[in-house]
Amino acid sequence: MKITLQQLAKKINAKIKGDPECEINGIATLQSAKSNELSFLDNPQYKKYLSDTKAAAVILTEEDVDDCPVNALIVNEPYFAYSVLAKEFVKNVEYSAGIHPSAIIGNACHIHPTVAIAANVVIGDRVTIGENTVIAEGCVLEEDCIIGKDCFLWPKVSVYYDVQIGDRVVIHSGTVLGSDGFGFAQHEGRWHKLPQLGTVIIEEDVQIGANTTIDRGALDNTVIHAGVKLGDQIQIAHNVHIGENTIVVGCVGIAGSTHIGKNCQIGGAAGIGGHLTITDNVLIGAMAMITKSISEPGAYSSGTGFMKNHDWQKNVVRFRQLDKLLRRLQKLEEKIVKE
């Protein structure tokens, strides 16, 4: 595919520095871009690569344009502009409408004629699938599921019974929706399973990464609200609610019955305890451990950054001594007050 700089500029409302007829046929990083490819500069950490780039053009801000040795597309938000233009170079995976002969379709299903169902898909009874949705190879949709229109389920997605998925939802391979939540009651030294009677509701415009698991509710439903973006290998337990347009990065674990607000950002491998409430517009740093509810918007972190192992070992010893040191300090304060 070839497209001119002028054509790309129109799509992102960019100002051009250089040749508007320059042809672009790909997109890459500043370090690896070839003379016919587009790149971008958003993070100042990568500005050191700008002067040596071989790209045909770079998306950047007015602040950096004088340092750019090649053509430029000048915008206020380079990363967003890159996300828009990158779609022009995506390799489209084509699925034709229709049902593959190897697919197994249950009784009383409502499948729109524009739906594409690929090889070895298994669909239970009374499933509804909206127009232009793609169900790729090896997916399993159990009975009474509802899938909206313009959805894309990549190969080997598993959707348990009664799960509801809205329009324009993308679900990547290995994801499991509606598995039982982890609920057990202890009696006489043994664990007894609690039935999980709720379901999972995924609203419109949600994206779910590969190998993510979202458990069905115990009594109420687990709900992922509109516009939420979930990374890979996330565990979302029963009865969790995630508010609109919140983004959750890979390997996060969210325990049961926690409610997360709108427009939050949760960093990779964060752990969030159960029965908590996190308000809107909260940013949680990577590997943070959240054990209490958060009622005020803002950025929250926990843990320590890495250091040399010898220093870390010394600090661990000191950490274990903090309680003793605090008690000694309190006694000294009491003594000073008496004197």
Quick one: 13 and 117 in the same domain? no
Q: Which residues contact 179 (CB under 8 A, 6 or more apart)?
A: 158, 160, 213, 214, 215, 216
Structure tokens at 151: 């959805």
Q: Give residue 337's pLDDT band: very low, low, confident or very high (50, 70, 90).
A: confident
Quick one: 62 and 196 in the same domain? no
232, exposed or middle or buried, with CB in 10 Å at 0-12, 13-18, 19+? Answer: middle
pLDDT, tens digit (0-9, with 9 covering 90-100), for 125-180: 999 999 999 999 999 999 999 999 999 999 999 999 999 999 999 999 999 999 99
In the listed set 89, 123, 147, which residue is the last one of a domain according to the structure? 89
3-state SS, one letter per residue, for 52-70: CCCCCEEEECHHHHHHCCC
3-state SS, residue 15:
strand
Quick one: 264 and 324 in the same domain? no
Contacts of 35-40 with CB under 8 Å at 24 or more apart are 38/8, 38/73, 38/85, 40/78, 40/79, 40/81, 40/82
Q: Give residue 304's pLDDT band: very low, low, confident or very high (50, 70, 90).
A: confident
Residue at 114: amino acid letter: T
Domain with residue 83: its CATH number is: 3.40.1390.10
Quick one: 289 and 145 in the same domain? yes
Distances (CA, A) of 268 to 180, 239, 252, 301: 24, 21, 6, 12
According to DSSP, the residues that pair with 299 across neighbouring strands are 283
Can you give the pLDDT at residue 339?
A: 72
Nearest to 213 by CA among 183, 174, 245, 247: 174
Whole-model pTM: value is 0.89
In the listed set 40, 69, 89, which residue is the last one of a domain according to the structure? 89
Domain span including residue 25: 3-89
Domain with residue 199: its CATH number is: 2.160.10.10
The mean per-residue pLDDT over the stretch 186-197 comes to: 95
Say if strands 277-278 and 158-159 run parallel, antiparallel, or are unpaired.
unpaired
Nearest to 270 by CA among 309, 230, 307, 243: 230
Question: Nearest-5° angle of CA 127, CA 130, CA 136?
Answer: 75
Quick one: 284 and 184 in the same domain? yes
Residue 1 confidence (pLDDT) above 80: no
Quick one: 28 and 145 in the same domain? no
Neighbours of 266 (CB within 10 A): 27
Quick one: 50 and 137 in the same domain? no
Sheet-wide strand order for 207-208: 98-99, 116-117, 134-135, 152-153, 170-171, 207-208, 229-230, 247-248, 265-266, 282-284, 298-300
For the chain, what is the domain count? 3
Q: Give residue 116's pLDDT band: very low, low, confident or very high (50, 70, 90).
A: very high
In the listed set 89, 106, 141, which residue is the last one of a domain according to the structure? 89
Quick one: 181 and 246 in the same domain? yes
Q: Which residues contact 223 (CB under 8 A, 6 or more apart)?
A: 200, 201, 203, 240, 241, 242
Quick one: 155 and 210 in the same domain? yes
Cβ atoms of residues 212 and 233 within 8 Å: yes
- Residue percentage of the chain with pLDDT more than 70: 100
Quick one: 17 and 107 in the same domain? no
Residue reference for tokens 């409502």: 110
Quick one: 174 and 45 in the same domain? no
Q: What is the DSSP letter of 93?
A: P
Quick one: 114 and 25 in the same domain? no
Structure tokens at 328: 């000694």
Active site residue 238: yes
Q: Write down the catalytic residue from 172, 225, 238, 241.
A: 238
Write down the mean pLDDT value for the chain: 96
